[in-house]
Structure 1
Amino acid sequence: MEKHDRLSLGAAFIAVLFSTSALAGDPPTSGAAANGSPAWHFQPGFPDPVGRTLVDESGRVTVLPRQPGVAGPVGGNLPQCAKSTICTRKGGPSRQLTPRVVWDQMTGYAMTFPLRLPPVQSGTPGGAPGAAVDSKGNIWVLQRRPQGQPQLFKFDRSGQVIVTVPAEEIGYQQKAHGIAVDPQDNVWITDTNGGTVQQVSPDGKLLKTLGVKDKRGDWDEAKDQRLLWQPVSVAFAPNGDMYIGEGHANESPNDVESSDPANVIGAARVKHFDKDGKFLGQWYGDDNGPGKFGETHGLAVDPKSGDVWVGDREQYRIIIFNSEGKFLRTIQMRNLVCSIAFDSKGEPWISTGQDGQIARIDRSGKVLGALGGGMGIEPGKFIEANYFAFDRAGGIYVGDTSIARITKFTPGAGKK
């Protein structure tokens, strides 16, 4: 894709009923998976647009040149990777050029774009990396936008904006990333590069900030130092406990030999807090062996067991711990594990990032079905399928890190 290419598509706000293999590109070349999962095929790599994407009222996507300093993929004064075992992976094959496994899609789901994100006041918008749904069915959306403009919005079930959180309320989210709703319907957001996790009330008021803005480092109770290092994800247990995942491996400057006294531990980690916000402990990734992980891009708590599932995106795997951080097992996947969520029946799903789908899996990692047509900007495809959430009716709202739109998949349109 040339830097100044402009790509556009036709109307996409009407529902699209998926059938098996719809929008899947070339015919499957590898057949059904050996474990009985749906048929799959390799999709060639598709480069992430080098510019910002605009989405108009008809769902048409236009790619514009990226403007310096506008909610780019790496913001803030992050140090460069040095001696970290995590950073050395950057010498490996580019995800943009790697063939991707795309599964045949489940039937019986309609696809729509039900939420119209407010236009930016100036500049160009970034993607909407995630959505979260509260107990009333309202949808929170976090978006990357130019500094000084709102980035957090709440929609009702009809798709109308009912809360816009002012930029001055939460401050600029340098790299708006993760989003989750707690049992009291407060929304939590992470600023990966700013080093904070913030709690916002249902009416859009800032309630709490964990970490210190623009001061990244380790959390050390003995030193009275309570800093975060690249917070990317938040998850809640049935008992109200909260977990924060830190470390963004493919960009992580976590250095196991860092000279920065605020960050001497290095590598990805998971922090554990009780429902009242008391710090209970943390555990670390550090490497590639059993129980280790390079990042915590995906994070969820199994509602049936209370186990903590960590999505180690770059290593295509899920690492499972008990509620206290004891390693239990690893599930090796064939896709990027960008995020993890459990549906109303307590069954796990993952988003596959630049593989362009969300997939329903069992607890062994077997893919039971998938939605999304792979990587792309066409309706039903994703540049990077990211954080997603379920409503009470089983609808699935999916964010895209690179495109300013939320895609909804609604079940019930025929046999699933």
Structure 2
Amino acid sequence: MTMLGSGQYRYERVERWPNVPKYFEMGQPSDVAINSSGEIFVLSRGDHPVTVWTPDGDFIGSWGQGMFSPVPHGIFIGQDDNVWIVDCNAHVAMEFSPHGQLLRTLGNKNSPSPTCDGRLIHSQPFNMPTNLAIAPNGDIFVADGYGGHKVHRFNSKGELLLSWGRQGAGPGQFELVHNVWVDSRDRVFVCDDENDRVQIFDMEGKYLEEWKLVSAAGICIKDDIVYLTHLQPFTDEMNGGSISLYDLDGKLLTSWDNTKSDDKQTMINPHDLCVAQNGDIYVCEVYGKRMSKFRKVN
């Protein structure tokens, strides 16, 4: 088994995770999240949009059939264990109970905020949103990714408080708002994928700084460690990308990609990830149509 990472952050890839039941088709896994019981929720583009698994990869159940567009994009589980799904092509963010009962919807389903020549006419959400994160105070930050080029902040009641951003490459502008997270310092991390950077703001949308990173696509902040997936660079059509870990000040802790392994399928363009309480990392490889688990080695 090839060891990945370095120092305190060493991992080994678990072969064949999860244990997909016979005749069961997961589809393309887009995002992943973990609830308070340690159950892993995988959001996929296929007949079974939300599947639930044990850490060992055993199948628990699924829900969401017929509820989403063909391109659901992001999943986030709050402290109350409710499950948020951001549906890119339906232009909404939806909150569900852990068992799949729809509780509320932000945005107007199948009704995108209007654009003109690819630019958003007004700031109302959403136009092809990608993901969301909930801050420690309960506010909800939504990445309005492919069409909106904005970040929207809602309070816990779902009331829109503010929006910021527009299409571009300058500070506070976005080419693709692919993901968002809020750290313990109340800073909002935004994966501006196609601008090859992570931009950092305060909760009022004030630009603070940016980290220049190639194709930063997925983010999870756990115990003040920033975990990132990078879809590129591609080493060939179906074999590329990397994973990197940083501290909150932007110091690189470790990283790895396929070139650091004898196994040329260590990862296939990682799209997003989440981190378990014990440090294990679960990665969605949407183009490879598979999940990967990287077990933390102590």
Q: With structure 2 as the length reference, what TM-score do the two structures score?
A: 0.85
- Matching of residue 230 in structure 1 with residue 124 in structure 2: no
Structure 1 residue 226: deviation in Å?
Answer: 6.2
User: In structure 2, the residue corresponding to 1:297 is in which secondary structure?
Assistant: strand
Residues in 1 aligned to 2:172 and 2:93: alpha-carbon distance in whole angstroms: 25
1:18 aligns with 3
Give the % identical residues: 28
The verdict on how the C-alpha distance between 1:118 and 1:315 changes in structure 2, with shifts beyond 3 A counting, is: farther
Residues in 2 aligned to 1:111 and 1:105: alpha-carbon distance in whole angstroms: 17
The verdict on how the C-alpha distance between 1:375 and 1:207 changes in structure 2, with shifts beyond 3 A counting, is: farther
Structure 1 residue 375: deviation in Å?
Answer: 11
The verdict on how the C-alpha distance between 1:392 and 1:362 changes in structure 2, with shifts beyond 3 A counting, is: closer
1:130 aligns with 31
Answer whether contact 1:375 1:381 (CA < 8 A) is retained.
no
Structure 1 residue 107: deviation in Å?
Answer: 6.8
Structure 1 residue 405: deviation in Å?
Answer: 1.9
The verdict on how the C-alpha distance between 1:212 and 1:105 changes in structure 2, with shifts beyond 3 A counting, is: farther
Listed one character per residue, the Cα deviations across residues 153-177 of structure 1 (whole Å, up to 9, x for unaligned) are 1112332222310413xx2322121
1:309 aligns with 189
1:336 aligns with 215
1:284 aligns with 165
The verdict on how the C-alpha distance between 1:245 and 1:291 changes in structure 2, with shifts beyond 3 A counting, is: same
RMSD (Å) for aligned C-alpha atoms: 2.7
Listed one character per residue, the Cα deviations across residues 110-130 of structure 1 (whole Å, up to 9, x for unaligned) are 211431345677xx8642111
1:353 aligns with 231
1:111 aligns with 13
The verdict on how the C-alpha distance between 1:110 and 1:239 changes in structure 2, with shifts beyond 3 A counting, is: same
2:138 aligns with 240
1:8 aligns with none
1:52 aligns with none
Structure (1 or 2) with the greater strand fraction? 2
| Counterpart code for 2:137 | N
**How many aligned positions are there?**
282
The verdict on how the C-alpha distance between 1:120 and 1:213 changes in structure 2, with shifts beyond 3 A counting, is: farther
Answer whether contact 2:131 2:179 (CA < 8 A) is retained.
yes
The verdict on how the C-alpha distance between 1:161 and 1:226 changes in structure 2, with shifts beyond 3 A counting, is: farther
Structure 1 residue 244: deviation in Å?
Answer: 0.5
Structure 1 residue 143: deviation in Å?
Answer: 0.8
Residues in 2 aligned to 1:291 and 1:119: alpha-carbon distance in whole angstroms: 47
Q: Whose RCO is larger (CA < 8 A, sep 6+)?
A: 1
Residues in 1 aligned to 2:245 and 2:95: alpha-carbon distance in whole angstroms: 29
1:394 aligns with 279
Identify unmatched segments of 5+ residues in structure 2. 115-122, 234-240
Structure 1 residue 19: deviation in Å?
Answer: 5.2
Residues in 2 aligned to 1:246 and 1:397: alpha-carbon distance in whole angstroms: 24
Q: With structure 1 as the length reference, what TM-score do the two structures score?
A: 0.62
2:200 aligns with 320
Alignment map for 1:97-176 (pairs within 5 Å): 108-112=10-14, 113-117=16-20, 126-145=27-46, 149-168=47-66, 171-176=67-72
| Counterpart code for 1:18 | M
Answer whether contact 1:336 1:353 (CA < 8 A) is retained.
yes
Answer whether contact 1:310 1:320 (CA < 8 A) is retained.
yes
User: In structure 2, the residue corresponding to 1:314 is in which secondary structure?
Assistant: helix
2:152 aligns with 271
| Counterpart code for 1:187 | V
2:76 aligns with 180
Answer whether contact 2:4 2:260 (CA < 8 A) is retained.
no
Which residue, 406, 411, 416 being the options, matches 2:291? Answer: 406
Residues in 2 aligned to 1:235 and 1:300: alpha-carbon distance in whole angstroms: 5
The verdict on how the C-alpha distance between 1:231 and 1:400 changes in structure 2, with shifts beyond 3 A counting, is: same
Identify unmatched segments of 5+ residues in structure 1. 1-15, 21-103, 219-224, 249-253, 255-266
| Counterpart code for 2:13 | M
